[in-house]
A = this chain, B = another copy of it.
Amino acid sequence: MKTAIFGIGLIGGSAAKDLRAAGFCTEILGVGRSAANSQIALDLGLVDKIVSKDEAIEQADLIILTVPVNYLIDELLYVLDKAQPHQIITDMGSTKGHIIDAIKNHPNRRQYVASHPMAGTENSGPLAAIDDLFRDKVCIICDKENSNKEAVTLIEKMYKTLGMRIKYMEAHQHDMHAAYISHISHISSFVLAATVLEKEKDEEAILEMAGGGFESTVRLAKSSPEMWSPIFHQNKNYLLEVMDTYIEKMYHFRNLINKNKTEELTKFMKDANEIRKILK
């Protein structure tokens, strides 16, 4: 299947690798915003050629949008406006409500499947693309009843080819869950990094002490601001809610330590331990 990928970074590049290796894609056309990254994607063999948007829309059977979410609505509208009847379009963005609301009345809406593969690393760009990024992870498809059946079937097949388990959600429900679970994790990690960098002036000490849990907890703070800033913006309402709960609990934890309330502090942590039961 001739496939065009808009945005050949960590996500688009990793998808390209696996879809090509599995024989799902016969040819991969890359559409990039940056000439330098496009050249890297070409040199790495992630894509067969770099083309313009219009060339991609003329030639591809499947169009995958993996640009940051602030570009996604414009890119999707551009593609839907020019889409040929046989083409199927999906995106891999981390927020879904805004994009689905923006295209809901588009005449070609049903050729588009909204999806969010829950996979990634703290790295970005085509050099960060790796094999098997998606394997054994979960992909969420949103509002599938608003897409053509054959479009959903193809996109499901694509994610299964990547090794993913598929779940279904309504778009705004997806955004709420993403805010409450994934996005707040990124924020707590960014804030942890900012705090440690401000308080701890001894960089050697950071390196020496990193093994005590800091390194893994702060990993997400290495993530791309260009990617995450628009996600936080689009998911603002749910995020403010969960951040307020987080701040309240952090403040409570602080006061339990301050007032030497050992029993209550232990109980707080025992309750937090319950996360074991869910994550195994």
Contacts and interface: CB of A to CB of B under 8 A. Distances in A.
A77 to B, nearest CB: 21
B266 A211 contact: no
B118 A221 contact: no
Interface residues of A, number: 91
A185 to B, nearest CB: 4
A275 B211 contact: no
Given A177-B209, A195-B245, A240-B258, A217 B214 contact: no
Nearest to A121: B213
Given A232-B257, A251-B247, A275-B222, A167 B269 contact: no
Interface in A245-275: 245-247, 249-251, 253-254, 257-258, 260, 262, 265-275
Q: Is the interface of A mostly helix, strand, loop or mixed?
A: helix
A163 to B, nearest CB: 12
A44 interface: no
A184 B194 CA distance: 12
Contact of A199 (B120, B180, B279): B180
Contact of A188 (B140, B217, B239, B266): B217
Interface string A195-217: 11111101101111111111111
A218 interface: yes
A2 interface: no
Contacts of A188: 188-189, 191-192, 217, 250
Given A195-B249, A247-B247, 7 more contacts: A181-B212, A185-B217, A191-B249, A193-B273, A222-B275, A225-B269, A247-B251
Interface of A: 94, 118-120, 137-138, 140, 167, 177-178, 180-182, 184-200, 202-203, 205-223, 225-226, 228-230, 232-233, 236, 239-247, 249-251, 253-254, 257-258, 260, 262, 265-276, 278-279
